[in-house]
Amino acid sequence: MSLVRRLRAHSLSFPTQRRGREALVSLALVACVTAFWMNHYRFFEVQTWAQPIDYWGDALFTAGVVKACQEGSYVPFFSKLVWTHGAPFVASWNDFPIPEDLVFCGTGYLARLTGLFAAINLAYLGAALLAALSMYWVMRAMRVRWQWSFLLSALFGLSPFLFHRTVHHFNLIFYWHAPWCVLLSIWAASRYGVPLKSRRFYLGCAVAAAAGFQNPYFLNFFLQMLGLSTVAGLLRHRGRPRKAAALTWLAVAGLCFFLSNMDTLFYQVTHGPNLNAMARSAADLERFALKPLELIIPQQPHIIPAVDQAAFLFTQNNTVIRTEHEYIGLVSAIALLSTLGACVVAVMRGRRSRPGDLGLLTVWLMAYSVIGGLNAALGAVGIVLFRSSNRVSIFIMALSLLGFGLLVSRATRRWRGWVQATVAVVILPLAAFEQVFPRKTAAETIAIHERARADQELVAVMQARLPRGARVFQLPPVEFPEASFEPFRPFLWSEGLSYSFGNMRGRPEADWQNRVAALPPAQLLPVLDEAGFKAIFIEGNGQGLANALSAIRPVEYRVSPGGGASLILLSDPAPPASP
């Protein structure tokens, strides 16, 4: 290869005369994904930016961590001593690793400008847009025609993975770097490798750093792809072992992962390990393993009757519990089968092809993630950290769409450009609606808003009566983390108050709340007074406790609209009688 061609191969710039078109297509992609996302969540009907999209389960954990970042008690890369929780102590969240500090804290800092739920909703939409744009730019770098790049990138940004995880698994919806991880793997296996100090090298370092600071599941899949591709490149092109760039990327990703978990590692060294902070078992590796058929067979209901019937039959005859949504969409399912077919053809012919290489990576990730696969084998020797290997579905979707983009560009190379664009525009809304069907009804959305509004009104009463820094005891006691995140609800609507929920399970502080909650009312009040608590926030009806406490001294009892929560405001204890 001539020097000019080699330099051109290492350039990521679009031809100058096409940059305007690429910018317009990128803007159209942003508009398309935004419109579909907003329509799905009924922003044109009953949803507003200031209201939560979801207000249950893990969505409350997301909001709680973002709120802690907003208030400044949760800082990236430093010890997580959260003064708003764990009263009368200061909650330490260091035992529970959250490597995605930059995602949560960035959203929390945005919340200082926009409000809590507006920031979370904007970050959610931003995750979809980043995924779509990343896929488009990677496809264009791989010379996939822009029409098919537009279609497949929009579907990637609007993936079933995104709409299933939503704000419940906030750390998982930022999968935007997956296409770039695939591209780095392709470069690592290429004949000429990547020269140090080139554009590709520095871009690879940025992607590796992003992977290191993102979800560890995604980092795990990236390191496997990059490592295998590097070895494959060395075996295929022994005379050109230019793999220093790939090794550097591996080191950068590992270093960033270490930095993102340094607070947890340092805390456990200084305070001792806490084996109860996260519940993991070898059985979970099977329960949450990848079930390949679920990649192409959706859960019910489905908009296409024939597909819905297939899903019904699969559910009826399947003895494996469907734990998480792994469906990748009809177009992506076709892409997956096509990419695997290209892999088979390449192996049978003994000829390399880029879609075939992507198929090989897909086969490897599936072999690692399936029930009884390599991940399960690692669990047999005690390595159970990556229990939910079915999360590989988004990387399989990325590999499949990239391979399919190459195949369909080759198959339609004789089509006129406007014909390709017309076909893509017709397919897009149908495919996007199919893969994220159904959406919440207007009534379900309104119910979410009413639940949040009821909490807001009750907390407003508490906020008006209590001084800044006052402590609030919460009932019933709930272990943190991964038991229930309902106790985060009052925290989301208050400012400057400290709650008893949030001490880390497995540490001595967590036992205090359980012991106090078991006390009878006559003994409960003195303990709460001594610890500085000014109110009791109860999930559900607290009338019985309020009556028992009022027999001892005056208290004020309030119930949220709908009765989902209740509040007992404690009066100051009477001063001791003078002798």
Closest CA to 208 of 173, 244, 240, 177: 177
N-terminal to C-terminal alpha carbon distance within the chain: 101
The alpha carbon of residue 348 and the mean position of all alpha carbons in its chain are separated, in whole angstroms, by 39
pLDDT value at 3 more than 50: no
**Mean pLDDT value of segment 175-187:** 95
Cα 168–565–51 angle (5° rounding)?
45
Identify whether the C-beta of residue 515 lies closer than 8 Å to the C-beta of residue 473. Answer: no
Q: Determine the Cα–Cα distance for residues 115 and 392; give it in Å rounded to an integer.
A: 33
Specify the range with the lowest mean pLDDT, choosing from 279-293, 363-377, 395-409, 416-430: 279-293
Q: Determine the Cα–Cα distance for residues 533 and 516; give it in Å rounded to an integer.
A: 12
pLDDT tens, 41-100? Answer: 999 999 999 999 999 999 999 999 999 999 988 888 887 889 999 999 999 888 888 888
**Mean pLDDT value of segment 499-515:** 89
Instruction: Tell me what pLDDT residue 577 has.
Output: 52
pLDDT value at 432 more than 90: yes
- Please give the DSSP secondary-structure letter assigned to residue 87: T
Closest CA to 290 of 376, 178, 174: 376
Identify whether the C-beta of residue 462 lies closer than 8 Å to the C-beta of residue 488. Answer: no
Identify whether the C-beta of residue 398 lies closer than 8 Å to the C-beta of residue 218. Answer: no
* Runs of H (alpha helix) within 115-159: 116-141, 146-157
Q: Determine the Cα–Cα distance for residues 392 and 215; give it in Å rounded to an integer.
A: 12
Q: Determine the Cα–Cα distance for residues 361 and 338; give it in Å rounded to an integer.
A: 14
**Mean pLDDT value of segment 508-537:** 91
Q: Determine the Cα–Cα distance for residues 375 and 289; give it in Å rounded to an integer.
A: 8
Identify whether the C-beta of residue 10 lies closer than 8 Å to the C-beta of residue 4. Answer: no
Give Cα separations from 396 to 89, 222, 361, 399 (angstroms).
45, 12, 9, 5
**Confidence category of residue 302, pLDDT binned at 50, 70, 90:** confident
Instruction: Tell me what pLDDT residue 10 has.
Output: 44
Closest CA to 226 of 278, 190, 256, 176: 190
Q: Determine the Cα–Cα distance for residues 572 and 474; give it in Å rounded to an integer.
A: 18
Closest CA to 440 of 32, 116, 35, 52: 52
Specify the range with the lowest mean pLDDT, choosing from 6-20, 21-35, 332-346, 414-428: 6-20
Element spanning 568, H or E: strand 565-570
Q: Where are the domains of the chain?
A: 3-40+94-435, 443-570
Specify the range with the lowest mean pLDDT, choosing from 120-129, 282-291, 316-325, 387-396: 316-325
Identify whether the C-beta of residue 64 lies closer than 8 Å to the C-beta of residue 492. Answer: yes
Residue 473 dihedral angles phi and psi, to the nearest 5°:
-90, 135
Identify whether the C-beta of residue 328 lies closer than 8 Å to the C-beta of residue 397. Answer: yes
The percentage of the chain sitting over the pLDDT mark of 70, rounded to a whole number, equals 93
Q: Determine the Cα–Cα distance for residues 221 and 388; give it in Å rounded to an integer.
A: 12
For residues 273 and 144, the model is more confident at 144
**Confidence category of residue 430, pLDDT binned at 50, 70, 90:** very high
Instruction: Tell me what pLDDT residue 315 has.
Output: 74
- pTM recorded for the entire structure: 0.92
How many residues in total does the chain contain? Answer: 579
Residue 496 neighbours by CB under 8 Å, 6+ apart? 468, 469
3-state DSSP call for residue 39? Answer: helix
pLDDT value at 281 more than 50: yes
Q: Determine the Cα–Cα distance for residues 485 and 479; give it in Å rounded to an integer.
A: 9
